[in-house]
Structure 1
């Protein structure tokens, strides 16, 4: 069944962020049991099944251009998620989310055309700098590099999502893209052995993870990308590190320091400013 719900683009992005962070709490519980690769495979694979049932896309109606972009979109989606899960298996989730955001932030900087956009970018960057644990020992350099690489694919995902949303239905694009994403990461999940020890409980958690971390947010993001510029979308996504901190507080009882509270404030102001600028531009 095709979705008829009309969600404003700014609201869609915010709901997407909340959904992803709720899913992250579930993923944290699956990591020790089946590993990062199997968790990523379970998340993307079940998301593909859910979205195919929900949207029932007809692949035979796609033209060559649509096939090209939906394939690139799906591969990018799969690689991005796999690399990010590999990163947070080595470093804290909050740090991973923060470093991954370097990709969308760079996209926002390079895509800016109005002076006011740089104010929001600077504020978002200040928040990221504050929330990143620059001091301390034991940080895994491989995890840090993987998180930064995931950021590159995140920026690519934003660009591809913006383009594909203009040439085909968003739900169909996400559903078919998820199939290609599954084909990319499933071999890693099988090779890691985590998928061979699944229980009904773990499968249920995987289904919830698929809905919250992939099926719901990616569909919402596709709707948003069809109505707002990639630059505005990127700045709005600066809420990710802040929401990750709030999720840690709610689900893991990890309290924020004063410095981290300032970081959250900067990011929220940047996101709100971006939303106001986008609204004003349409008036």
Structure 2
């Protein structure tokens, strides 16, 4: 199972790609779509972190999930009307698990963003899909990629400067949730057609984070300007990247897709420098490169193709 099986980390909006394709996405080379999606995702993350002093992380997560849920709910509105009637209790429980993993993944990574640099948090989070890829391959030499990634995380934690261990813990939790997200995504895709399963998961995730988000956001959630910025973060972080990645995945080999997705930690680190002024040490940059190499190597060693993109 390759990294390509998890487009749009931090959640996405399946099915929207078909609409964007009508805007001539087919003329854009797939690698460019991947890079644009990664850049959009990380700029959205940088914008969210920049707003934490006005809208706390939990409130930003609520805005992001709510944006995805509204878009997905609208696109899958016909299928959602009969979702309770047409699907078994087990299928609904799987979709619920998918939604809870989506909510906890977003909550954890945003809590990590609030404590450690963007590039560091995203790099550590990548351990989740990397572990899934290595376990799925069952090749002894892939343990070397796991060791390289582990060494990279140790270098990040001891790369100079003060590093909040709670921030690292939240990033590790986000990685574990990303791994669960991948597994639940595959199972949900087998039980629900099109983007219906992801729509259900997004709605569940939104309701799961709603009490915490409302409590943390308070009056800020009623500020029109902050609301507009929060919706913008949701579009940049979920709608655009997931749509671009799905379109690219339809037109390129899964392994190439996975290798290109391995650039995400470096892009996150650069966005952290440019948008947030988060300067990393040389050792921390080397650690990010180690994790990227491990992700690319594990993707090349994967024996499974990526899961088919939803229609």
Taking a change above 3 Å as real, the CA distance of residues 75 and 264 of structure 1, as seen in their structure-2 partners, is: closer
Contact 2:58 2:216 in 1 (8 A): yes
Aligned equivalent of 1:100: 125
Number of aligned pairs? 279
Point out the more displaced range, 233-242 or 184-193: 233-242
**Residue 53 (str. 1) matches residue 74 (str. 2):** yes
Unaligned runs of 5+ in 2: 1-14, 307-311
State how far apart, in whole Å, the 2-side matches of 1:89 and 1:280 are.
36
1:185 offset after TM fit, Å? 0.3
Q: Distance in 2 between matches of 1:233 and 1:155?
A: 18
Work out whether residues 112 and 118 of structure 1, in 8 Å CA contact, stay in contact via their aligned partners in 2: no
Question: Is the 1:86–1:146 Cα contact (8 Å) retained in structure 2?
Answer: yes
1:33 to 2:58 alignment: no
Is the Cα–Cα contact under 8 Å of residues 54 and 220 in structure 2 kept in the other structure? no
Distance 1:101 1:270, change over 3 A: closer
1:87 corresponding residue in structure 2 = 112
Asked if 1:208 corresponds to 2:232, the answer is yes
1:17 corresponds to? 38
In the superposition, relative to structure 1, how do residues 11 and 67 fare at CA in structure 2: closer, same or farther (>3 Å)? farther
| TM-score (structure 2 length as normaliser) | 0.72
The residue number in structure 1 matching 2:136 is 111
Map of 2:6 onto structure 1: none
Structure 1's 3 and 240: CA in aligned 2 closer, same or farther, altered over 3 A?
Answer: closer
Structure-2 residue corresponding to 1:161? 185
The 8 Å contact of residues 242 and 263 in structure 1, kept in 2 or not, is answered as: no
Q: What RMSD in Å do the two structures reach over aligned CA positions?
A: 3.8
Provide the residue aligned with 1:68 in structure 2. Answer: 93
Contact 1:9 1:228 in 2 (8 A): no
Unpaired segments of 5 or more residues in structure 1?
none
Counterpart Cα distance in 2 of 1:63 and 1:281: 27
- Judged with a 3 Å threshold, the aligned counterparts in structure 2 of structure 1 residues 188 and 261 are, in CA distance, closer, same or farther, namely closer
* 1:99-178 matches, cutoff 5 A: 99-114=124-139, 117-118=142-143, 121=146, 124-125=149-150, 127-137=152-162, 139-178=163-202
Q: Which of 238, 254, 264 is 1:240 aligned to?
A: 264
CA shift for structure 1 position 126? 5.0
Check conservation: 2:146, 2:294, Cα contact below 8 A: yes
Preserved contact between residue 17 and residue 243 of structure 2 (Cα < 8 Å): no
